[in-house]
Amino acid sequence: MSVLVTGGAGYIGSVTAEALRARGREVVVLDDLSTGHRAAVPDGVSFLRGSAGNAALLGDLLRRREITSVMHFAARSIVAESVADPALYWRINVDETLALLGALREPGIRHFIFSSSAAVYEGGEGTALSEKSPLAPGNPYGATKAAVERALADFSSAYGMRAVSLRYFNAAGATSSHGEDHRPETHLVPLALRAARGEGGELDLYGTDYPTRDGTCVRDYVHVSDLADAHVLALEALEAGYPGGALNLGNGRGFSVREVIETVEDVTGRRVPVREAPRRPGDPGTLVAGSEKAREDLGWRPRFAAIREIIASAAAWMETHPGGYGPAGPGPAEGGA
């Protein structure tokens, strides 16, 4: 019995693959390495390089390996890129997911865990978002996540599969072996840490006129290991008969961009050079999670709720991995899963 992890060479997928291995699960990673790294795939995990929507490859893989559940991380996830090229996002995030779901129907794979996002929400002005808050994605990226969630709900009613959509807020932090290495990097914590190290010049601060306490965007940062734990708990819940649905994953506390920068300065003892820039299209002012449902339904308890601890773990990984996972590029073609 194996768990198929699409996107397991990426940031959150690789940490989750590691958490699954630590629980003694067999794991197969399927990743096209478009934004991930072969070196991020944990030891003891089978790796297959390919697209998550490749029906022929999936059919073969599902026949050869005893896959009983799927965690689907593979996606594009840069909001500004989705605004500039929505076709790319609908193709990769929606078409490929539908192809994956199609391939899972015949062998009757019933447990599916989907990487959704806070971007499905309209965004509030202070109050924490619950799963009942209105879904009104402000950008194509969020719209593709909402579309897949809807497809999963329909597939669950019609085909007897059970799916959990985990709506992550802002993933951050690192384990001792795995950290954040997006190329290009668009996430605040690694960008601020790099700027503090004197790499990459000034940090762009997008928008200082939001209706927040200091005018900068407020986000809810959740440690990547806590996200990984939630996936393991969701899988165990589905296996025990949990009906599925959407769950927020966040800490329930928002930090402004300026507060994150100050914490990075405090943790590193170095100044972060900042350049103020206009708002980016599609960025809501405040996104903070109410995660009571994940706590109640899954028994999830974030272990790293303090922003300082989250940032310190990311800083430590950057110290030990100054070049991230190494040179960019997919490396030689591989099979073997």
Ligand X SMILES: NC(=O)c1ccc[n+]([C@@H]2O[C@H](COP(=O)([O-])OP(=O)(O)OC[C@H]3O[C@@H](n4cnc5c(N)ncnc54)[C@H](O)[C@@H]3O)[C@@H](O)[C@H]2O)c1
Main-chain dihedrals φ then ψ at residue 261, nearest 5 degrees: -60, -45
Rounded to a whole number of angstroms, the minimum distance from the CB of residue 53 to ligand X is: 6
Residue 137 interacting with ligand X (CB under 6 A): no
Whichever of 148 and 261 has its CB closer to ligand X, that residue is 148
Task: Give yes or no for a contact between 225 and 12, defined as CB atoms under 8 angstroms apart.
Answer: no
**Phi then psi dihedrals of residue 6, to 5 deg:** -80, 140
Least Cα distance to 167 among 118, 122, 229, 219 occurs for 118
Q: Which of 46, 82, 115, 256 binds ligand X (CB under 6 A)?
A: 115
Query: What is the rounded distance in angstroms from the CA atom of residue 198 to the CA atom of residue 50?
Result: 36
52 touches ligand X by CB under 6 A:
yes
73 binds ligand X (CB under 6 A): yes
Q: Which residues contact 302 (CB under 8 A, 6 or more apart)?
A: 222, 223, 226, 251, 291
Using an 8 Å Cβ cutoff, are 92 and 10 in contact? Answer: no
Which of 52/312 has CB closer to ligand X?
Answer: 52
Residue with smaller CB distance to ligand X, 33 or 163: 33
- Output 7 or 140, the one with its CB closest to ligand X: 7
State the sign of the Cα–Cα–Cα–Cα dihedral 30, 36, 38, 42. negative
32 binds ligand X (CB under 6 A): yes
Stretch that binds ligand X, among 5-13, 62-70, 261-269, 278-286 (CB under 6 A): 5-13
Binding residue for ligand X (CB under 6 A) from 3, 4, 5, 12? 12
Q: Is 170 in the site for ligand X (CB under 6 A)?
A: yes
CA distance between the termini of the chain: 14
- Smallest gap from Cβ 114 to ligand X, in A, equals 8
Residues involved in catalysis = 141
218 φ, ψ (degrees, to nearest 5): -110, 130
Binding site for ligand X (CB under 6 A): 6-7, 9-13, 31-36, 51-52, 73-75, 77, 92, 96, 115, 117, 168, 170-171, 182
